[in-house]
A and B are shown apart, each in its own frame.
Chain A
Amino acid sequence: MDYKDLNLIGSSSPHIRTRDGAGHIMGEVLIAMVLPLAFAVYNFGPRALSTAAVSVAGCCLFELLYRLMMKKGNTLGDLSAAVTGVLIAFVCPVTIPYWILLIGDFFAIVVVKQLFGGVGKNFLNPALAARAFMLSWAGEMTTWVGPRSTIPAWGSFDAATYPTPMSFLHEGNLSGLQQMYDIPKMFVGLTGGSMGEVSALLLILGGLFLIWRKVITWYIPVSYIGTVALLTFLFPRGNDPLQWMLYNLLGGGLLLGAFFMATDYVTSPVSHLGQAIFGIGCGLITVFIRYFGSYNEGVCYAILFMNLTVWLIDKSIKPHRFGVVKAKAERRRKPRQSPKKEALKK
């Protein structure tokens, strides 16, 4: 048979192609964040939307400028800068001044990401590193407004500090928290707090969407949230372990961090076992900071800290290669002696 007349393209493998590029995956993450963002606009007013827009624009601008300056290719298309932008807005209070937001964008994109080689090479989660840096302005970063407030996008507003669930949890004041916010309110998200962290319901929906789309796996979120649940249930403050646990799970940035930040590909382990260890570590540190630290919330530092241990986790959990087991067992039976030791014996 003569193959030359057939309409075939000769090429080497791989032959099956997928549309899953970085841009596609980041696009899915952006879709998952639409609902929490919409809820933030509903809960805090139009400023939530403008804050997110400014943050995304800032991140994209800094990425573009840096790549131009360094004469490298434009990487805006992979959308990771946009995701970082939305996440930075999510971890800030809605009243954050725009200039602090832009400094945070600069820190995340230029210092944490691009200086280390751009997308895929950052050693910390850019959004959380930016949040840690933005705590330089501790006053502005901890000015919370109450639920259902309408903060205008521009102009003056009354920024009275409003107690968030986390401040009650930090004091161990369960009954005060129960009076202020009941569990359904916490679940829907009618509380004060950072822009993106309030609505547990929509964050869980977004997380399930990501798991369904196979963008993230369930190992990190489940081990992270599970560890926090177990620890807070076993060591409650107040007389109701179940309520204490639920408030700890629904309050603060736990769900946002577990679904959207700890699962970042670049800064989480490769193997499933490693991801579980990573999640448990995040959970332990989160609870430790919430219980014993001077900050109300520990999610940010827990994830940042575990980011720094990823290389160690990946190194210690190496998958088994086929055929290696036997050789290893043989070596164990017959330990190879180093030349030095042999020389000493003589």
Chain B
Amino acid sequence: MNIGKQIKEGLLTQNPVLVQLLGMCSTLAITTTVSNGIGMGLSVTVILTLSNIFISLLRKIIPEQVRIAAYIVVIAGFVTMVDLLLQAFFPDIAESLGVFIPLIVVNCIILARAESFASKSKPLPAAIDGICQGLGYTMVLIVMSAIRELLGSGTLNGAQVFPTEYAASMLALPVGGFLTLGCLIAFMQWVQSKAKGGK
């Protein structure tokens, strides 16, 4: 077990969004404001950690043939919990995230980590993996939504930074999501190739 390696993989070298290219749909759709990004990122982190632990605990009981269905049931249980908790305590965020919270059930980050890591590891490493991968996802969401909110509507977490008429509203639209994500992925590739000593 190597916690340092797991943290580095989750945040940088195996970042779920920028390197593994998982969970792109929610990433593109909800990163219009920073509060959305934080809310979504933390929800996914919580669900990912809990479902990783549970799937790791159940890994010897779940039959090979129906494992995906079993994972989905576990994940759906936690998603329902988080959904109801958000609606009870953070109704604003639940409102603005809308259908994307229930859709975490089919978020491929969670399914991919369950399949490739949690089902093969002990509960503690699985939990750490969930936290690291979840934080990697959250980090990307925050960076992306900060860029899109600042340049697209001139605000940062709701506070006006510069007048809206100077903002490139294109970035707040879906086009801007693809554009920002593409630039971030390219930047990540560039950083990684630099780190490897390439050109």
B-binding residues in A (CB < 8 A): 99, 103, 111, 115, 132-133, 135-137
Contact = CB atoms under 8 A, between A and B. Distances in A.
A135 B167 CA distance: 11
Interface residues of B, number: 10
Contact of A103 (B168, B169, B179): B168
A115 B170 contact: no
A135 B186 contact: no
Contacts of B171: 136
Contacts of A111: 179, 183
Interface of B: 165-171, 179, 183, 186
Contacts, number: 18
Contacts of B170: 132-133, 135-136
Contacts of B168: 103, 133, 136-137
A135 B165 CA distance: 12
Contacts of A115: 183, 186
A78 B167 CA distance: 33
A51 to B, nearest CB: 19
Nearest to B187: A115
Given A132-B170, A133-B170, A136-B171, 8 more contacts: A99-B166, A103-B168, A111-B183, A115-B186, A133-B168, A135-B170, A136-B168, A137-B168
B169 A136 contact: yes
Contacts of A137: 165, 168-169
B164 to A, nearest CB: 11
13 contacts: A111-B183, A115-B183, A115-B186, A132-B170, A133-B170, A135-B170, A136-B167, A136-B168, A136-B169, A136-B170, A136-B171, A137-B165, A137-B169
A99 B166 CA distance: 9
Contacts of B167: 136
Nearest to A133: B170
B151 to A, nearest CB: 10
Most buried by B among A135, A136, A137: A136
Nearest to B167: A136
Contacts of A135: 170
B142 to A, nearest CB: 22
